Chains A and B, each alone.
Chain A
């Protein structure tokens, strides 16, 4: 369960659990959480629970609502967020609401709006389908590397390896892929009879780790691998 802690001048004024009810915040004493600061509007903000989320919404207050120092109009609260209202601080604590806690198993819940499509609806969805993007990456940090072209292409050109995969070679002949992983870069043959070579030795069937300074040959290309930093 999520918890809110309101503090001012270093002392905690109020603590309360957030349940499935909407919570209003503002200077007006009728708010569920009253913040007695002249910089705070009578009705300043609300926190709306939706599923596992608590969404903080600023009610177009003049002085604004700040989360971790940034002004927001609407924000999905994250564990440890600090919300500023005037000189008051509100801390959101919800250990389950962190990226790792997405271990939550899949659960069935009723939708926000009933759609009447079903077996009879065979119309394709619009071109740009509304979709949830991938999870914001919490703590994943990938290495940085690049290759420099030594021969077979624009000599001296630098190709950043800043995506999950980068393929090299000729589409109709031999292709090798350099894969960016957590603990470094790896090279694997994608297709073609002529194996890519690392420091003159043909690579095997398994992905092979690359080390700084390795010379890679694939099709006509000759590349030098660099690990940055």
Chain B
């Protein structure tokens, strides 16, 4: 397309304490794709898992988008991301089976594909996706985490949960089993929306109210907003790796535009 319909800013940081960064992020503003993964496993296997996952998903969706665009509506973007997640799951699982030091490795995932005025969202584990709309931040995902389960069944109150040591225990991960069902949803997009994809290194250390304040206050300078989010997590302790991808929707992006764009490109070629 002549101009990107989304703007993206991404930062990943090892944090203030850890030596290695096991998070991986990939962004493709031109194709409207953002992928974030927080790896787990010993001997830096987490880094391997999150790296494989983001790369496989990115490549799979790049290929599938061409198909989607050439035959709009033939397959939904949600199906496309589901397929890419399953491919990534198999890739990480197979790699883990093949090498003893990778056994048990896995990764969380937060993925957003912006297509045809909608966002197809995929999510596994405790990485999150928020959306700022009309200056209000809303969480769009449910953590697959023991702590969230504890709160849901009333074992601990949400207020007390800040004192829990269970925040790093996830109940679902990509790559740990041969098959996987991810959480998928589709979100109608409004220009001006800002999507926030983050690893738990952000939301474990920065209150939602502060995430909202930072994104809202700095929305006209997305890279600065992303930088501030990571900085806030580090100032609050930065015990974990912290990653964030911000996606701002600049204008409507109906799929018909893609067809028209391809057509105009073709016409230009043949002229």
Contacts and interface: CB of A to CB of B under 8 A. Distances in A.
Q: Do A and B bind each other?
A: yes
Interface in A126-167: 127, 129-138, 140, 142, 163-167
Instruction: Give the size range of B's interface with the partner.
Output: 35 or more
Interface string B159-183: 1111111111111110010000111
A134 B166 contact: no
Given A140-B235, A163-B210, A106 B38 contact: yes
Interface of A: 48, 50-53, 55, 74-76, 78, 96-97, 99-113, 117-119, 121-125, 127, 129-138, 140, 142, 163-167, 171, 175, 177, 179, 181-182, 188, 190-191
A100 B164 contact: no
Contact of B46 (A53, A105, A167): A105
Contact of A118 (B176, B181, B200, B221): B181
B146 A103 contact: no
Interface string B133-145: 0000011111111
B165 A112 contact: no
B239 A181 contact: no
Interface in B192-238: 200, 203-208, 210, 213-214, 217-218, 220-221, 224, 228, 231-232, 235-237
B158 interface: yes
Given A78-B163, A124-B185, A164 B210 contact: yes
25 contacts: A50-B166, A51-B165, A52-B164, A52-B165, A102-B167, A102-B168, A103-B240, A105-B46, A108-B169, A117-B183, A119-B182, A121-B183, A123-B185, A125-B139, A131-B158, A132-B161, A134-B206, A134-B208, A134-B236, A135-B167, A164-B206, A164-B214, A164-B228, A190-B218, A191-B221
Select the residue from A105, A122, A125, A132 with max chain B CB neighbours within 10 A.
Answer: A132
A190 B146 contact: no
